[in-house]
């Protein structure tokens, strides 16, 4: 017998997202292929390995024992798993049968991470008496699986307050009622940074403190507005 095997799957996927491959083995001869077997080598750095019915996990392999494959017939199985790190997943499968030469097929899937930034802005004190100070804390966490780059934070204050100071992951400059922090080059996956802005209330009212985050991986900014009640 003469076998052919073809595995198909995606060219790319994200870390933590499942990927599925289809494997088709065909008996291309005019005689029966006995003891037909498919063996898929489980790639490194993957979890949640699952095969279609009949699959057996034998060490580093997923094995389907198909038995007899008639002349001209095909059998289709599938395997899925979830990659856990960036890089190239090399997925190889081998089909064999009694008195048949083993055949292989390989698919390479590029796996990449993605940054997922969460920004929280809080006022430490609320309400605040006129003449006293209010502090705003800006926290940014990268909840994703890849670094976030060139993070820029801008804060806009209404004229209910005047600027006193700021500090944090990067230094800042003041332009009127706008505070611009210098860019943060890289925020690794799962890392967190913070900035603080101190202002003084100069008149009573319902003040808004608007913070905007931009970074290279986002086409639109992330914005959050914190309200603070200022009273006489």
**What is each CA distance from 151 to 3, 119, 142, in whole angstroms?**
54, 11, 11
CB–CB of 228/123 below 8 Å?
Answer: yes
DSSP character string of 177-228 = TEEEEPPEEEE-TT-EEEEEEEEEE-S-EEEEEEEEEE-TT-SS-EEEEEEE
The pLDDT assigned to 219 comes to: 96
Instruction: Give Cβ neighbours of residue 53 (< 8 Å, ≥ 6 apart).
Output: none
- Residue 166: C-alpha distances to residues 172, 198, 212 (Å): 7, 6, 16
**pLDDT (mean) for 15-19:** 96
Q: Where are the domains of the chain?
A: 3-112, 117-231
Q: Which CATH class is domain 3-112?
A: mainly beta
Q: Which CATH architecture has domain 117-231?
A: Sandwich (2.60)
pTM metric for this prediction: 0.79
**For residue range 21-32, what is the model confidence (pLDDT) as tens digits?**
999 999 999 999
Rounded to the nearest 5°, which phi and psi values hold at 172?
-135, 170
pLDDT for residue 96 is more than 90 = yes
Query: How far is it, in rounded angstroms, from Cα 65 to Cα 45?
Result: 26
**Same CATH fold assignment for domains 3-112 and 117-231:** yes
What is the model's pLDDT at position 91?
97
pLDDT averaged over every residue in the chain: 97
| Cα 24 to Cα 38: distance, rounded to the nearest angstrom | 9
Cα 7 to Cα 25: distance, rounded to the nearest angstrom:
9
- How do residues 120-151 score in pLDDT, each as one tens digit? 999 999 999 999 999 999 999 999 999 999 99
pLDDT digits (tens, 9 = 90+) for 169-220: 999 999 999 999 999 999 999 999 999 999 999 999 999 999 999 999 999 9
Percent of the chain as helix, strand, coil, to the nearest 5: 0, 70, 30
Write down the pLDDT at residue 158: 97
Strand partners, 142: 117
Instruction: Examine the pLDDT at 53 and tell me if it is beyond 90.
Output: no
Q: Which of 83, 87, 100 is nearest to 5 (CA)?
A: 100
């Amino acid at each position: 017998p003469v076998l052919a095997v073809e595995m198909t799957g995606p060219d790319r996927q994200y870390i933590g997202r499942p990927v599925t491959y289809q494997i088709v083995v065909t008996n291309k001869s005019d005689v029966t292929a006995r003891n037909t077997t498919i063996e898929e080598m489980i790639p490194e750095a993957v979890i949640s390995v699952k095969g279609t019915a009949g699959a057996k996990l034998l060490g580093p392999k997923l094995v389907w024992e198909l038995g007899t494959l008639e002349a001209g017939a095909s059998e289709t199985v599938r395997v899925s798993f979830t990659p856990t790190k960036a890089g190239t997943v090399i997925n190889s499968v081998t089909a064999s049968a009694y008195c048949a030469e083993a055949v292989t097929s390989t698919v390479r899937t590029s796996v990449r991470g993605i940054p997922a930034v969460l920004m929280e802005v809080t006022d430490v004190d609320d309400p605040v008496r006129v003449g006293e100070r209010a502090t705003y804390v800006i926290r940014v966490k990268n909840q994703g699986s890849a670094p976030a780059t060139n993070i820029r934070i801008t804060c806009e204050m209404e004229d209910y307050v005047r600027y006193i100071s700021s500090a944090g992951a990067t230094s800042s400059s003041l332009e009127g009622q706008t505070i611009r922090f210098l860019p943060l080059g890289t925020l690794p996956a799962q890392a967190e940074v913070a900035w603080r802005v101190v202002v003084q209330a100069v008149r009573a009212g319902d003040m808004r403190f608007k913070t905007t985050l931009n970074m290279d991986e986002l086409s639109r900014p992330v914005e959050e507005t914190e309200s603070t009640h200022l009273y006489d």
